Amino acid sequence: MPTSHSGGCRRRLLHQEERMSTNAAEVSGTRAGPRKREAVERLTDKLTRATSAVVTDYRGLTVAQLEELRAQLRTQGVDYVVVKNTLARRAAESAGVPAFSEVLVGPVGLALGYADLAVPARVLSEYFRVNKRLPSVAGLVEGQVLDAAAVKTLSELPSREALLSQLAGTLQSPLTQLAGALDSITATFASTLEAYRDQLAAAA
C-alpha cells in the first residue's frame, strides 16, 4: 500500500510538472508572438521604403563588430538588421517582393538603403575588401532581386555626387558654346548699332 501511495504521488507530481511546463510554453509563445509580429511589421516597413537592400552573411562577426558596422552604415543613411530568415521571408511577402524571400536563407543580415541605390552595396563591398568578412550574397533594387555578382556590379557604380559632377561636366561644353554664341550675337548687334549711329551722325 505505501508503495502504491508513493507511486500515485509521483504521478501527480509529474502531471503537475507537465502542466506547468505546458503553461510556461503557452505564456512564452504568447509573449513571443507579438514580438515576432512587431519585428515582421518593422522589417516590412523598411523593405517597403527601401530603394535597395543587400543580403549579407554575418557569420564570423562579433557583436562589437556588428555594432561598428551598423554605426558605419548609419552615417550613410543605411539600416542594418539581423533577423531570423523565417521572419525576413514573411516581411518580404508582406512588402510585396515574394521573390526576395527565396534568397533569404541561413543567417540573414540586411542592409537597407533609402536614397542612393548603390550606397549599401558600396559600403559593404568596401567592408568586405578590408576585413574579408561579411560577403554580400544577394540584393534587391526597386523590386528586382540581384545575385552576388549583380550586387558587386552595383557597388562599383559611381556615387550620386560623382554622377552629378559628370553630368555637370557633360553640360558644361554645350553651355560654353552657347555662351560664346550669345557673346558673338551681342557683339554683332553692338557693332551694327554703332555703325547705324555713325550713319545718322554723318547725315546730320
**Does some domain include residue 146?**
yes
- Are residue 92 and residue 173 in the same domain, yes or no? no
How confident is the model at residue 179, as a pLDDT? 57
How high is the mean pLDDT of the chain?
A: 76
How confident is the model at residue 87, as a pLDDT? 94
- Are residue 141 and residue 175 in the same domain, yes or no? no
How confident is the model at residue 183, as a pLDDT? 59
* Least confident residue range of 16-25, 51-60, 174-183, 191-200: 16-25
C-alpha closest to that of 35 among 80, 83, 93? 83
**Does some domain include residue 124?**
yes
Domain endpoint, select from 155, 173, 196? 155
How confident is the model at residue 109, as a pLDDT? 94
* Least confident residue range of 64-68, 96-100, 200-204: 200-204
Domain count, the chain: 2
50 touches 112 (CB < 8 A): yes
How confident is the model at residue 157, as a pLDDT? 84
- Are residue 91 and residue 177 in the same domain, yes or no? no
Instruction: Average the pLDDT over 95-123 and give the result.
Output: 93
* Residue-number span of the structural domain to which 103 is assigned: 44-155
- Are residue 118 and residue 147 in the same domain, yes or no? yes
β-partners of residue 139 are 54, 146
- Are residue 51 and residue 100 in the same domain, yes or no? yes
How confident is the model at residue 107, as a pLDDT? 83
**Checking DSSP bridges between strand 52-56 and strand 78-83, what pairing results, if any?**
unpaired
Of 58 and 30, the one with more pLDDT: 58
How is residue 182 written as a grid cell?
550669345
How confident is the model at residue 193, as a pLDDT? 47
- Are residue 64 and residue 144 in the same domain, yes or no? yes
Q: Does 100 have pLDDT greater than 90?
A: yes
